[in-house]
Amino acid sequence: MGEKELIELNNEKRKRLSQENKKYYEDMLIYIRTSYNKSDQEMEKILVELLDHLIDAQAEGKTAKEVFGDNPKKYANEILGELPKEVTKKHIQFFFMLICYFVAALSLTTGVINYLGPFIFDLSSISNTYYLETLALKALLDIPFAFLVMYLALKYIRWTCFKEINNKRFLFLSGLFGIFAVGLFVLIAFIVPDVGPKVELPFYIILLFGIILYLLGRSIRKTI
């Protein structure tokens, strides 16, 4: 059975769990799935096996805590430790998909700002001057920072697993993380100096570039 079929089977079988057992199991599912350096196929197989075991135990009147213990993170880590580390073609495709989406978002945002600039700030031109070396340097900094933010986001998601966090606290922590992430990119935009050859680009060229990258990212996503 393929990975997608295993995920669909898992989604269907989880409906048979009680609310308490479902919460416990789904925390374990998120914790395991966000382990990015493991074989996705093997992870999904293990998750279905764990789910089948829990469903059978639930039919006997047992809870997830009775089946897997009071320390689910330790149990999940033991499972992950037995899975082979693997960088698959899917991981590489996912990496390039994220780059396409990230640069597309930057391009589309920049294009929209350049278009609205004359109306909001009373500018005389809808073009903007870009320094090629500056663009290259910002890309070299922004892309690694984007993956750092994604890595920290995964760590944060894994940290919230198996914890009782109320909505207000979750929103507060998420807001702090969002401010930190935006602050990183704003800092890069301010500290990188304007160097290299200049080029004048109208907003629609930047928008077109962003749309092309977005469509490329979608096409990669469909192959994953």
- For 40-58, how does the pLDDT look when each residue is reduced to its tens digit (9 = 90+)? 888 899 999 999 999 999 9
- Mean pLDDT throughout 113-132? 67
pTM: 0.70
Domain ranges of the chain: 3-82, 89-223
Pairing of strands 127-131, 198-202: antiparallel
Residue 160 has what pLDDT?
84
Higher pLDDT, 115 or 67: 67
Taking 60 as the threshold, does the pLDDT of residue 123 lie above it? no
CB atoms within 10 A of CB 99: 18
Residue 113 has what pLDDT?
77
Question: 202 pairs with which residues across the strands?
Answer: 127
- Mean pLDDT throughout 182-208? 83
Residue 176 has what pLDDT?
81
Residue type, 143: I
CA–CA separation, 161 and 4 (whole Å): 23
CA–CA separation, 176 and 189 (whole Å): 20
Residue 63 has what pLDDT?
92
Range picked from 4-13, 89-98, 106-115, 177-186 for highest mean pLDDT: 4-13
Residue 121 has what pLDDT?
58
Look over the chain and give the mean of its residue pLDDT values, rounded to a whole number. Answer: 84
pLDDT 10s digits, 130-181 = 888 888 888 888 888 888 888 888 888 888 888 877 677 777 877 887 788 7
CA–CA separation, 210 and 207 (whole Å): 5
- Strands (E) across the chain are located at 127-131, 198-202
Confidence of residue 112 (pLDDT cuts 50, 70, 90): confident
